């Protein structure tokens, strides 16, 4: 028996997830927008918190009804893997092309090892990686998926014992680690590179279980609902805070610990209709693909159009447009068949995840 999650829709959270995915691209493509969003990397903390909220909604009742951790993990793999492996292989293909062409510091052996490890969500040791900057060289944002799946497994294993008190204690320790991380690096932008890889652990540990707690508290306590325009403005205000010096890590920690969970708590109670509802649903549906494909599109774009400008709003718009087209095509012709192919995995569970279920 798998259980069934309540049919409640969180369309405004879908819309914010799409907006946050769009903000992340400014972290990969330098432009005036990057200067306008100095805390753009906090979008990842929003993703982690939203994931905890949604998984508590979708899978909490199923786990309580007897869904096993293996069945839960199968559902997550079916949800995440098709677009992830497509992006990873696209990046690996580009690296192999560069290796064959004799580009320095890129060898086919390193490409092969990096592909095999990244294909199963594992980070590549620095000495074996095709790139010496990060453990997921083909698809930079994949570092967050590694930590996402790790915390998902922990959630599945402890969900039945995760009382509100235990959750609060866990968050207290994770918040301390998060503050330490922010001040260690001067900001909460870590997890993607070898030098800051460990920073991903406190980020996901706090944000994810904060999202779980926010969802569970909705049974007895609900925040005032925010209209869509206010929610969007608050999200970008958090990302745009121009803090400098010691205020930067302080703001980042405060935003991740308090503001992101509160924003989710308010937006979960919002009702969206008409054109805004359709826009939010579309943004949510495209957000994951946009997130995992953008770094790969950037790499291919810079290789094919080496003479083009490496920064600026035109390049940002071009890459965003190409990424969006890739995601639309992938969802139309590839994602659904790939998910069906993955259903040979043992254990049976219907995957209906998203900010709406």
Q: Is 274 left (phi over 0), alpha (psi -120 to 50) or beta?
A: left
Q: Which alpha helices (DSSP H) does 120-163 contain, by range?
A: 142-158
DSSP string, 250-303: HHHHHIIIIIHHHHHHHHTT----HHHHHHHHHHHHHHHHHHHHHHHHHHHHHH
- pLDDT value of position 355: 54
Q: What's the pTM?
A: 0.92
- pLDDT value of position 299: 92
Please state, in angstroms and rounded to a whole number, the distance separating the CA atoms of residues 173 and 331: 39
**Mean pLDDT split into 10-residue runs, the chain, 357 residues:** 57 96 84 82 97 96 93 93 97 92 81 96 93 92 97 96 95 98 96 96 98 93 89 96 94 98 95 93 96 95 77 83 96 94 63 48
Dihedral pair phi/psi, residue 186, rounded to 5°: 85, -10
């Amino acid at each position: 028996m798998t259980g069934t999650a309540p049919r409640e829709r969180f369309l405004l959270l879908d819309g914010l997830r799409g907006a946050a995915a769009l903000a992340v691209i400014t972290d990969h493509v330098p432009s005036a927008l990057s200067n306008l969003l100095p805390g753009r990397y906090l979008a990842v903390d929003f993703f982690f918190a939203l994931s905890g909220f949604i998984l508590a909604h979708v899978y909490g009742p199923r786990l309580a009804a007897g869904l096993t951790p293996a069945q839960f993990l199968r559902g997550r793999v079916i949800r995440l893997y098709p677009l992830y492996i497509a992006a990873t292989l696209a990046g690996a293909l580009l690296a192999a092309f560069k290796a064959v062409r004799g580009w320095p510091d890129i060898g086919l052996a390193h490409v092969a090892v990096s592909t095999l490890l990244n294909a199963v969500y594992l980070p590549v040791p620095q000495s074996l990686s095709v790139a010496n900057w990060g453990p997921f060289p083909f698809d930079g944002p994949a570092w967050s998926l590694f930590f996402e799946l790790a915390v998902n497994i922990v959630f599945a294993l402890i969900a039945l014992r995760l009382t509100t008190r235990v959750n609060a204690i866990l968050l207290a320790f994770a918040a301390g680690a998060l503050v330490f991380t922010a001040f260690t690096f001067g900001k909460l932008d870590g997890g993607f590179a070898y030098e800051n890889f460990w920073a991903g652990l406190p980020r996901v540990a706090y944000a994810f279980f904060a999202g779980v707690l926010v969802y569970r508290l909705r049974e007895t306590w609900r925040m005032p609902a925010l209209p869509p325009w206010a929610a969007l403005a608050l999200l970008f205000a958090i990302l745009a805070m121009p803090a400098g010096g010691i205020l930067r890590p302080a703001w980042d920690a405060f935003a991740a610990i308090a503001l992101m969970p509160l924003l989710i708590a308010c937006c979960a109670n919002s009702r969206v209709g008409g054109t805004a509802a359709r826009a939010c649903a579309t943004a949510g549906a495209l957000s994951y693909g946009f997130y995992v494909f953008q770094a790969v599109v950037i790499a291919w774009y810079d290789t094919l159009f080496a003479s083009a400008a490496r920064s600026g709003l035109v390049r940002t718009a071009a890459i965003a447009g190409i990424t969006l087209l890739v995601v639309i095509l992938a969802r139309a012709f590839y994602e659904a068949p790939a998910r069906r192919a993955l259903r040979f995995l043992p254990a049976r569970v219907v995957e209906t995840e998203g900010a709406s279920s």
